[in-house]
Structure 1
Amino acid sequence: MLELRTDPFPATSELNALFSAAWGSWHSRDFAAILSRSLAHIGAYCDDRLVGFVNVAWDGGIHAFLVDTSVHPDMQRQGIATRMVRLATELARERGAEWLHVNFEPHLTGFYSACGFRPTEAGLIELA
């Protein structure tokens, strides 16, 4: 049974394993400092195993940002990401954000549109 948990602070090893499975080439990171400054984050658990995750970063004011939306490949196409993004949207609103931003690749346009996001123009500089 799938359970969504708000602010679960999963272990770094759990997050790195999920991101590695979901994204392929992943460089392990320590998430403790990141998650402690997040507005919210949601973990999707199946039998106490982390199978999905989304982080709601923020600017400390009215802007929040969805980052790291991930679902384990074995669990994709089951509505998990949609449920996490909708809960993240509700939490961002409840916690005082007035705008929720997300950047995504073109093939995810339909997904984010179905979650209520509308297209905007934005800029991006790759720093690494």
Structure 2
Amino acid sequence: MTVTYEWRGGFGNAEVNALHAEAFRHPVLDTDWHARLHRHSLGWVCARDGGALAGFVNVAWDGDVHAFLLDTAVPATRRRAGIGAGLVAEAVAGARAAGCAWLHVDFAEELRPFYVDGCGFRPTPAGLVALTG
């Protein structure tokens, strides 16, 4: 089947919770993604293959010109097939259309080839403060 991408696409909380748990290796939670995204996000992108959720990314923002990629997730069986890059490309387009000037992403070093080489992000210095133990 053909993977389709939709900015602010429809989704069920259960399917995003299951995908997030697999992608980030934690137990399946009962997060209300609808409430979270509508409260804090500029948008999100859902990738679908037929009816199945094949990927997801959240685009948070500061309410002005900075947007932030969070929770990029693709099922393990579908990785390295271009779905993640498609999610990011749609997120870039959505943030640009909303008038954002910058799209930020933080990532673990092993994801550098994906974000920098595959998606066109430019490496920048950044800082981080751990707020929990």
- 1:1-128 maps to which residues of 2 (within 5 A)? 1=1, 2-26=3-27, 28=29, 29-36=31-38, 37-114=40-117, 115-128=119-132
- For normalisation by structure 2, the TM-score amounts to 0.90
Contact 1:19 1:26 in 2 (8 A): no
| Unaligned runs of at least 5 residues, structure 2 | none
- Give the CA deviation at 1:72: 0.4
**C-alpha deviations, 1:66-105, integer Å up to 9, x for none?**
0000100111110000011011111101111001000000
Segments of structure 1 that go 5 or more residues without pairing to the other structure are none
Give the residue type in structure 2 aligned to 1:34: R
Post-superposition shift, 1:45?
0.8
1:39 match: secondary structure: strand
Instruction: Report if aligned partners of 2:6, 2:90 keep a CA contact under 8 Å in 1.
Output: no
Confirm or deny: 8 A CA contact 1:44 1:51 kept in the other structure: yes
Q: Secondary structure at 1:22's aligned position in 2? A: helix
Kindly state the Cα deviation for residue 27 of structure 1 after the two structures are TM-superposed.
5.4
Task: Please state how far the C-alpha of 1:26 moved relative to its aligned partner.
Answer: 4.0
TM-score normalised over the length of structure 1? 0.93
**1:55 Cα deviation after fit:** 0.8
User: Which is worse superposed, 80-89 or 26-35?
Assistant: 26-35
Report % sequence identity.
43
Distance 2:92 2:72 in 1: 13
Question: C-alpha displacement at 1:122, in angstroms?
Answer: 1.0
Task: Give the AA of the match of 2:101.
Answer: E
**Which ranges of 4 or more aligned residues in structure 1 deviate by more than 4 Å?**
none
